[in-house]
Each structure stands twice: as structure tokens, then as C-alpha cells.
Structure 1
């Protein structure tokens, strides 16, 4: 019996000890070794905490910041990114925080950001998305290497300027419906209060439904509703991302996320299969994003073979990305633009004068949109002060040298868009003021050719849909300015916060005046 028990203990030790070591290495040994390596090179930050890192500290700081009222100021960094800001103040612009067990080195030197985002030799990859993130966004933004190159090559034709022209009627239809809705809302009263945030969210979802999926417009609207709900659920889940295996717990939210994921995939698959059948019968229209993507994918398959084209699962992921990224980014930009123009009426009037000079009361056209210099300056300044995405992340996959610092494999970089856009060392002492004239000479002149303005990213992985978003924003803003003036309502509370993108926490209550 003693021999039997002894053998049993040996077997148990052989089986259990490696697992114990793996867990210990993951939650403590490796993070502490990385922390020590970074400290030796002068990179300091809040200390690593077992398993959670600084996630809890970050959310506590956010909760405290959001509980305090703020005035009508564009000095929003202390509210939107309080923990990140305090880290920079305490430990310097090159500092480290911990996202769970992973170190994130903060980089705020434009030259180093340029080196990371240019990624000439493929040394800096995007961090692998969590299981939560995959349920929201996948596709091109998460791929690396040859798969990324293949998808980018196939998708590029759909976002060519000439193809975007074909989508302008769909943009116009959606914008016209919004303007008509607001005219009916105001009615004979001439002025009336309205929270424009939900309507602008619906507008951008409507635009992507029409321009993205054409005849499958109704199914597209359902996808928009589901992904909006999914975004809220994913953000809630991130608070618990550091708990091992949390995504497998049968909680109500976890089950709902999986249910949404299945429904979105089923709707997308149905749309793609129907479009594929119609294309075979030469009945399909290829002037929407889905048609253009499938046409480009078919051409790739014919020229390079099936192995070079995207699978139906790949197409589903790219369509879902069109939807989420296109809707979220543009709704945020338009909402903050309307809020800021209501806060700065002189710029609102200048923008309206330009729109009326170019278009009069006629429907805006593609060529005219490219002549809206003041409107473009305003949109750039809104993107600077209120970027939809407040941070970019990259990581090393092997030992790397960056700016004289040696970084081990597995270290993430935090490229803080919001902090960079508000940095007085880059933009002057008036960095927190709304001054569209900064961009009167274009982006290069405004930034002194530095990578200090990157709301759509930068380098080879710059957002493929930025021209789509800018054209949609110019058109919507032009049509709104033709018909309405706006000012802030007394009920408006200035409270920017992040839920995937930067949003107004309590809505965007404006008083619309029909012109």
C-alpha cells in the first residue's frame, strides 16, 4: 500500500507541478521579470498587481472622474483617460501600465510612434484580440502578415474614390430622411430641443446599411441593432477580462453575446449567399460595399486561385467590420461636430456660409464636397479634440530595439491618440481650445510633418474607410447646415466618455432652429 501511495504521489506531482508552474509563471513570475527588465531601462509605472494588473485601478479612476461634473471645456483628458494621464504625470511620457498580466509601454514621441506604425519590417503587430473582442470586431483590423496583405488587397477596390462616388446617392437618401424627420419634429415652432445623438447613430447605421448592403437594407438594419447591443455587452465584459476563463461562465451576458454573434453570422451568411447566387445569374448590383467586395474577391480567385481569395467566413468578418467601424466612427464624429458648432456659433456660421456658397439650397454633390475647406478644417479639429478612438495598441513578438530601449517579446505599446492630440508640447498652450484654423494649411503643416495627429491611425494600416467616413460626415453636415442652426440646450451636460468610441455620456441635447 505504501508503494502504491508513493507511486500515486509521484504521478500526481509529475502531472500537477508543470501546471502549477505554468500558472505561477503566467500570473506572477513572468510579469515581475518583465517589470524588472523595464525598470532597469528607466521605464517605470504603477506596480503590477496579481492577475488584474492595473485594470481595477483604471476603472476606479474612471468612475471617480465621471462622478465629477465638468464645464463646457475641451480639456477632456482628465475625465476620459484619468489613470493614463496620472501615470504620465507621475512616471513620464515613456512609462508602463499593466493590462492584466501584460505590460503596456506608453509611447508619446512622434518619431517613435512613426517607427511603430510604419512597421516597415513587420516587427510590431496588433495585440491578439480577446474572445470578447472577436465577438465585436475581427477581419482586417486583427489580421497580420500575408493574411492582412491579402484581405487589404481584395478590400481596397471597394473604397476607391471612384467607387465611393457610386455610394453618394445612398448617403444622400439617408441624410435627407434625417433632415425631413427633424423638420417634422420642429414643425411650426421654428425651434425645438432634440437629443441628436440617437438620431445620428441611426443615420450612420442607415448609411452603412444602404451603401454596404443595397437591396439587403432591412437585414442590414437588424445587424446594426445587434452590434450596438453587442458593443455594450463587450465593454461590460472587459471589466472582468482578467478573470481566467470568465468568457466560459454561463452568465446572462455571456450567453447573450454568443446568441448575438450567432444571429449576426446567420444574417450575414444569408445576405452573402443570396448575393453570390444573384451574381452568378448576373442580377447583382456591384455599387455597394458587399457587391464590390465580392466582385473583387471573385476576381482574385479567378486570377490567383481559390487559395488566394477570402472564404465566406472571411467575408462575414469583413462585412461585420464595415458595419461596426463605419457606424461607430462617423456617428461619434458627427455628434461632437454638432456639439462643438453649437458651442462655437461663429464657426457654425462660417461653415454654413461656405456650404451655401458652394451648393446654395441644392443637394450636395461629390465635387462640391471636395471644395468645402472650412468644413474640412472643422472636422479635423473635432477629430483632434474628440477622436472616436482614444488609443492604439501594438506589441512586440520578439526582442526589439526602439529609441534606445530594449523590449522583450510580449510587451505591448500604448499609443495614446487622445493624449497626443491634447499635448501642449505638440500643439501649443492652446491645445485644449477649439481652433479649426490650425488646419488651414492642411494636416502636414498643422503637425509640422510629425505623427501627432492620427485619428484614423497611420502608416500602411491606416483605416481603409477614412475617405468613406469623411465623405459621409461632410455630406451630412452640409445638409444639416442648409436647413438648421443649432445651439446647446440648457439641459445639455458636457460629459465625454468612452464606450468603444468617444461618446456624450448623457446625450447631445441641442435646440434646433429651422432656417
Structure 2
């Protein structure tokens, strides 16, 4: 075999070997090391599973919780976030969770939460939003930081001044009156309250923020709702590099 032939074979093999080592380092060694370090400090949690972390369990528990009818109770935590509810009961108020390969320290002790919110700008930076979340929220207050955040917060503050909120009252009353008028023709029939109040919220937003009615922005609200459903469906999907660019039903 000629030297050139050996070189042509060795280069791809070397590249593949380096890529494999890097993959195992990122998706196995680092997570297991983080898990060991936090466990030694008393922070427990469900164990890391290769590539998927705890996403499969979270998805399955959510599906099971939502598949059963809910009793008339204010205790909705086990239904809306069953995986967090289960982990808090099993591992304590603070525990380690794995969003795929990403380690997440879940904090639910009020004093610690208060400390994080007080010192959040530099000590506790926001996580980069997933591709799905960024499509829904864009570059808004929830996702941006630094100067952009300060500018948007200043603009948003004006809306929540007492005088501004007072000026919105007639629009809110008009929206509620429209809903009640529609209900008058539904006497004796069942009303899907969740749907009605979703429409009311959209109507109030349309009137107060854009000076229009819900009907004028109905298509926009419908598309936002559809986008939020797609986002929630992908919330616990394991994100492997480059896979998001492969055409599929979820992508």
C-alpha cells in the first residue's frame, strides 16, 4: 500500500476517533463528573442517563398526569409539573436535574430563590433559550440581558404605572361586557370557561396594547397558540448538535 493511500485512510480514521472522544467527553464524562461533585456536596437527584438525561422520564410523567381527569382541587402542582413535584418529594427542596446533557440545579427554597432573584444579573445569568423558545419569545425581557434588558424594562415600566393601568379600565370593562353579552345566548348550555377566558385575555391585550379587537388579531393569536403548543411538545426533547437541522415532524 502506498504512503498516499495510508494517509487517505488514516486521516478520516483519526478525525472519527477525535470526534468520538470529544462526544464521549461532553456527553458522558462531564455529566458524570458534575453529578459526582454535587452528590458529594449533598445535592441529590435522578441519575444522569446518556444523552437524554432526565427528559424521557419528565415527558412520560407529564403525559401520564395529563391523561387522567383532574379532581376539583387547588393542588395542581402534581398535574402541571409532575416530575418536579416527584423530585422535590424524593430528593428535597433543592436537587440536580438533567435537561439532556445540561445540568440544572433546581431551587425551591424561598430564601435561596430570593437571593438568586436579587443578584441575578451577573452572578446567575439567564440560560440561552432553546431554538423553540426563542422562536416564541424573540428578544424580549425574558431572554435578553444587560443594556437591552434595561432599555426594555424601562419601556415596560411605563405600562404598569398606576395612571396607565387606570386608563386601561374602560377597555377591560368593554371586553368583559362583550363576553357576558355572548353568554346571555348560552343559557342552559355548558360553557368551556378555559376557552372563553383565553379569548377574554386576548381581547383585553388587543384593546389595551394595540387599540384593536380580538377579531382583528385572531389569526396572530391563533398562530402564537399553535407555536406555543409546538414549543411545549418539544420542551423535553433531547437536543443533539446538528439534529435540529434535519427535517422531521418535530423540527
Q: C-alpha displacement at 1:89, in angstroms?
A: 2.5
CA offsets, 1:228-266, max 9 Å, x none? 111111112224343444432323453xxxxxxxxxxxx
Structure 2: state its 5+ residue gaps. none
Q: C-alpha displacement at 1:218, in angstroms?
A: 5.1
Q: C-alpha displacement at 1:116, in angstroms?
A: 0.6
Cα 1:77–1:112 change in 2 (3 A) is same
Cα 1:208–1:241 change in 2 (3 A) is farther
Say which is worse superposed, 177-186 or 13-22, in terms of deviation. Answer: 13-22
Q: Secondary structure of the residue that 1:75 maps to in structure 2?
A: coil
Cα 1:244–1:157 change in 2 (3 A) is same
Cα 1:19–1:146 change in 2 (3 A) is farther
CA offsets, 1:332-369, max 9 Å, x none? xxxxxxxxxxxxxxxxxxxxxxxxxxxxxxxxxxxxxx
Q: C-alpha displacement at 1:193, in angstroms?
A: 2.4
Q: Secondary structure of the residue that 1:194 maps to in structure 2?
A: coil
Q: Secondary structure of the residue that 2:185 maps to in structure 1?
A: helix
Aligned-partner Cα distance in 1 for 2:95–2:230: 30
Q: 1:221 aligns with which of 214, 218, 221?
A: 218
Structure 1: state its 5+ residue gaps. 255-515
Q: Does the CA contact (< 8 Å) of 1:240 and 1:246 recur in 2? A: no
Q: Does the CA contact (< 8 Å) of 1:213 and 1:220 recur in 2? A: no
For the pair 1:178 / 2:175, whether they are aligned, the reply is no
Q: Does the CA contact (< 8 Å) of 2:31 and 2:48 recur in 1? A: yes
TM-score normalised per structure 2: 0.88
Q: C-alpha displacement at 1:27, in angstroms?
A: 1.5
Partner residue, 1:463: none
State the number of aligned residues: 250
Partner residue, 1:202: 199
Alignment root-mean-square deviation, CA:
2.3
For the pair 1:136 / 2:133, whether they are aligned, the reply is no
Aligned-partner Cα distance in 1 for 2:19–2:174: 59
Aligned-partner Cα distance in 2 for 1:71–1:230: 29
Partner residue, 1:232: 229
Aligned-partner Cα distance in 2 for 1:82–1:252: 26
Aligned-partner Cα distance in 2 for 1:238–1:78: 18
Partner residue, 2:161: 160
Aligned-partner Cα distance in 1 for 2:33–2:132: 28
Cα 1:161–1:17 change in 2 (3 A) is farther
Q: C-alpha displacement at 1:69, in angstroms?
A: 4.4
Q: Does the CA contact (< 8 Å) of 2:53 and 2:100 recur in 1? A: yes
TM-score normalised per structure 1: 0.45
Q: Does the CA contact (< 8 Å) of 2:28 and 2:50 recur in 1? A: yes
Specify which structure has the bigger relative contact order, considering alpha-carbon pairs within 8 angstroms and separated by 6 or more residues.
1
Aligned-partner Cα distance in 2 for 1:151–1:17: 47
Partner residue, 1:407: none
Q: Does the CA contact (< 8 Å) of 1:116 and 1:124 recur in 2? A: yes
